Structure 1
Amino acid sequence: MMNLAQIPVLSLEADRAEFSQRIGDSFRTFGFAMVRDHGIDQALIDRAWDLTAQFFALPDQVKRGHFIPGQGGARGYTPFRTEVAKGATEKDLKEFWHIGRDLPAGSPLAASMPPNVWPSEVEGFQETFTQLYAQFDKAGAEILSAIAVYLGLDARWFDTAIEDGNSVLRLLHYPPVGEGAGGAIRAGAHEDINLITLLLGAQEAGLELLGKNGEWLSVAPPEGAVVINIGDMLQRLTNHVLPSTTHRVRNPEGDRAAHSRYSMPFFLHLRSDFPFKTLDQCITAESPDRYPVSITADEYLQERLREIGLKM
């Protein structure tokens, strides 16, 4: 029997100082948190699930018509068994679609953030996911504000760092697990690249985090809550004060193996031109700066995309 991660469920409508302390403590302990009252409209979420299922039910040839070679999966469709966890040999049992930020005309960030593509085969897709992206963006900024307060920064410190940031909304489909899976699993053990990830869809069993004692723990949010985890960019920025925790999506057992699993992570990213400089508050005599050489957020992202097989 898989042990359950004892992650507290917090309300974004709670007292701000208390919320900042509690979510920071949760991140420091687990690398994960759960948050309800996040402000993302449930009717919009329900519509998004319906459209996600409609898209992935399209014929493979149609879906592949939205695959853009050489873009590292930044926009549009990425076929089944393309991504591989860093250091793994088996490719993940998943396919996905990426929606990014629509930049203003003439933006200097356009070279690192290609325009969105939209599947004409699914009615209402662009409208629904443009709205959902905006709501995720707003909720994510509020979570980062709480993190900033926890770290002793100004509450709006992250606002300029994520302005026109390279955040991505991923629609994920894990098809039924067949006989030919071999040693592959739905998502191999990995850490996220970005600042924080806000995840919908973890109510379906399978998401697990690696505890500090080396034990895999099941993550089971209640209905209406989002799961939030720290990514490698925030781990780097905080000199590992806030850890990026290894997690995976294991294969289902019994009857559930015949069912698809859907999830919807929002990978909240920094601006592409953001220069990494370790926060002074996170450097001590006992914990010197692990990252004295500064690189930009996009340089870091491109390096990681090569490691997980999305770029050559």
Structure 2
Amino acid sequence: MAIETETEPVEYVYYHQGGIPGRRPVIRGGKGHETFNEIPLVDVTNITSPSFEARKAVADKVAKACTEVGFFYAQNHDVPQEIIDEIFAAIKEFFAQPHESKMEVHIHKKIGFRGFEPLFETKLDAKTRGDMKESFLMGPDKSDPDQELPFPPLTDQPSVNNWPPDNQRFRIAVTKYYNHLQRFSKLLTRTFALALGLEETFFDSMCTFPAGYVRPLHYPPQEVSGGEEPGIAAHTDFACFTVLCQGDVGGLEVLNKNGIWIAAPPIPRTFVVNIADFVQHITNGRFQSTVHRVINKTGEERYSIPFFYAFDDDAELEVLPSCREEGKEYEKVRVGEYIAHRFKVSRTKHPDKAQVVNV
């Protein structure tokens, strides 16, 4: 005779990790894994200290955050507030334009995915209409004299960025911010090297012309009780790491090991830094590329500016010797090819001819 037992219904969180669909069971109460319930804060003042011990102390805190969470707030960074204020003012002005004006620089008008994307253009969660946000993407450009290039600008080449022709304020503000974030991110690569027990300059040879992208985002107000329609669906980032500047409206959430969403609210004068897929790959999972999403339930406009930092397009990434398991084979990943693949995963409407430009 069969005995009927009552079982708890299983609830899952669905996401894309490394561009591949996945799911995680939601575990509530005292039965779950040991995991985080807040995002740690790391004071990064000393990442440029002349004292090795001071730099190493920051790196140790970063290592702990990246191992246990994959996210941390970077407090006391050196990007001037006026640069941040300028770009936020410029992107608010840009996104406030009529839809037709923004569509003049749509990403399909140039190869390389540079330019404007309207609401619902990207889609990771098949159950939704798409991501409820609009964005603009710019990145490295060998022809741009305003970018801090490691060589003279190749002014005989056409620009690969897709700038609004009549909005110089926007182009200047975004480019200035891009230059500052490139410098800050290069400093972070040395902190990450120390955090992994490597020489500080270990990653320098992969960062001669790194693939960094600024992507201003605008999330329109949703109904406060508007359910789970995502501003950006649950995912991991595709580069080495992301440096996010949040406005004053929240919505970012990070998934812990128990399938619980942990809020990462804005904190003044901080960046949110998260590990992305390249660093998870080379550390064999020691540093976690953690699933996150944005849902704007505030009823207010939300603006944020992520900077995605990757190594040189032609760099080949493999698992670090100190992170390998004996007898196991590891594939190499070429940076430019993987970025091109990840751009296409969530862009179901892009034309087949679209490609990421090897700039």
Instruction: Work out the CA distance in 1 between the residues paired with 2:60 and 2:269.
Output: 22
After TM superposition, the structure 1 = structure 2 runs for residues 167-182 of structure 1, keeping only pairs within 5 Å, are 167-177=212-222
CA-to-partner distance for each residue in 1:48-105, whole Å, 9 max, x for gaps? 1111100000000000000131757631111211111266654100110112112159
Q: Which residue of 2 aligns with 1:9?
A: 41
Q: Which residue of 1 aligns with 2:165?
A: 120
SS at match of 1:301: helix
Give the drift of 1:307: 1.6
Give the drift of 1:120: 3.4
Return the match for 1:59 from 98, 102, 121. 98
Instruction: Work out the CA distance in 2 between the residues paired with 1:295 and 1:227.
Output: 26
Label 1:71 to 1:192 Cα distance change in 2 as closer, same or farther (>3 A): farther
Q: Which residue of 1 aligns with 2:262?
A: 217
Letter in 2 for 1:10: V
More helix by share: 1
Identity level (%): 28
More moved, 33-42 vs 86-95: 86-95
Return the match for 1:85 from 124, 142, 145. 124
SS at match of 2:108: coil
Instruction: Work out the CA distance in 1 between the residues paired with 2:60 and 2:114.
Output: 36
Give the drift of 1:162: 2.3
CA contact (8 A) 2:240 2:311 kept: yes
Q: What TM-score, normalized by structure 2, do the two folds share?
A: 0.76
- 1:36 partnered with 2:36: no
CA contact (8 A) 1:8 1:33 kept: yes
SS at match of 2:215: strand
Instruction: Work out the CA distance in 2 between the residues paired with 1:114 and 1:104.
Output: 6
Moved over 4 A (4+): 70-73, 86-89, 104-107
Unaligned runs of 5+ in 2: 1-35, 47-53, 145-150, 353-359
* Aligned residue pair count: 297
Give the drift of 1:221: 4.2
CA-to-partner distance for each residue in 1:129-162, whole Å, 9 max, x for gaps? 2111011011111111111011122102222212
Q: What TM-score, normalized by structure 1, do the two folds share?
A: 0.87
Give the drift of 1:12: 1.5
SS at match of 1:185: coil
- 1:207 partnered with 2:252: yes
Unaligned runs of 5+ in 1: none
CA contact (8 A) 2:219 2:296 kept: no
Instruction: Work out the CA distance in 1 between the residues paired with 2:168 and 2:124.
Output: 33
Instruction: Work out the CA distance in 1 between the residues paired with 2:125 and 2:71.
Output: 20
Instruction: Work out the CA distance in 1 between the residues paired with 2:282 and 2:342.
Output: 16
Instruction: Work out the CA distance in 1 between the residues paired with 2:112 and 2:56.
Output: 38
